[in-house]
Amino acid sequence: MGTQRITPCLWFDGNAVEAAEFYCSLFDGARVTGTTLYNEAGPGEPGSVVTVTWELEGTEYVGINGGPEFPFTEAVSFQVACEDQAEVDRLWTALTADGGQESVCGWLKDRFGLSWQIIPATLPALIGDPDPERARRATEAMYAMRKIDIAEVQRAADAVPTA
């Protein structure tokens, strides 16, 4: 491990390496940095992977092949601030593929059950606009979406109210 003192550790049901490789495929410069293997002390099969470490966007993660006892819930999610709609679309498509599930307001679960928030970087400014009516219109538009369409949220914020 590097100088990072707090490392997110994710519990997987035997597919931590697959998950780490998948997550690393989504982000430039990401990489799997190591694995540790079960030994004769167990509890897993000696020689099988117990943990895998990887790095995304400068943050190190650990995945443990712990088994089915502790599945992921929406109580923890990874929020990705996307530069543009193309990045939103790319990540949304990749993360919902092969058994992932769409949710609402930019949330989804990937095929491993991990929750993500795929958010355009400009969204917080629109839903937090100082003009309460612009913010309301942007927020209402966002609430009606699964994958965030930032142009549509912007159009809603910019809509001229009818008198």
Domain residue limits, the chain:
1-70, 72-163
Yes or no: is domain 72-163 CATH 3.20.10.10? no
- Binned at pLDDT 50, 70 and 90, residue 73 comes out as very high
- Binned at pLDDT 50, 70 and 90, residue 51 comes out as very high
Mean pLDDT score, 122-139: 97
Instruction: Output the pLDDT for position 2.
Output: 56
Instruction: Output the pLDDT for position 75.
Output: 96
Mean pLDDT score, 48-63: 97
Inter-helix orientation angle 132-143/150-158, to 10°: 140
Q: Exposed, middle or buried by CB within 10 Å (0-12, 13-18, 19+), for 22?
A: middle
Measured distance CA(11)–CA(101) in Å, rounded: 19
* Fold held by 1-70: 3.30.720
Q: Are 1-70 and 72-163 in the same CATH fold?
A: no
Tokens of 100: 């992932």
Query: Cis peptide leading into 43, omega within 30 of 0?
Result: yes
Instruction: Output the pLDDT for position 161.
Output: 72
* Model pLDDT for residues 77-107, shown as the tens digit of each residue: 999 999 999 999 999 999 999 999 999 999 9
Instruction: Output the pLDDT for position 3.
Output: 78
